[in-house]
Amino acid sequence: MLRHLHLAAAFTFASCGFAFAADNVPKLDVARTCRGAYGALQTDMSLSPTTGNKGDAEARQNTYKSCMDSENAARDSAAKRWVRVKGENRRTCFSMASAIFPSYVELDACLQMYDDKDPALTGGTPAAVAPRRR
């Protein structure tokens, strides 16, 4: 129930023009998303089932840790982009990243699309990336 209230509050703030702090990326409950990641992997038919409770517990722990490592790295990257992206685009990205399964990976990917200082969007900095002039 509390989870649903958090989502409702996030959508309310995003849709009402809530002004996010200029230098702080919003907090997302990625631990909940990562706890659900193992269950999602179990439904993938390409994975072989683990045998015994010990293997299952170890696989669950490894999946959670890997997910959290990815989310924490994406949070750090999103925090750098957050200050360079305009408010309306921030709200769009936050709404997408917090909709069903909160994810900094999704937030960072969305912010990257709006980050005009991102080297990937400006053609990169290496000279090898720039087209040759004749």
> What are the boundaries of each domain within the chain?
28-126
Global pTM exceeds 0.85: no
DSSP-derived secondary structure for 80-110: HHHTTS-HHHHHHHHHHHHSSS--HHHHHHH
Which whole-number Å values give the CA distances from 122 to 74, 77, 112, 113, 118, in the listed order?
21, 17, 11, 11, 6
Rg (CA), the chain: 19
Structure tokens belonging to residue 11:
């959508």
Type of residue at 52: G
CA distance 41 to 129: 38
Cβ-contact 123, 130 below 8 angstroms: yes
Residues in the chain, overall count: 134
Query: Among all chains, which residue has been given the structure tokens 């990937």?
Result: 120
CA distance 99 to 115: 21
Residues of the chain with pLDDT under 70: 1-22, 39-54, 118-134
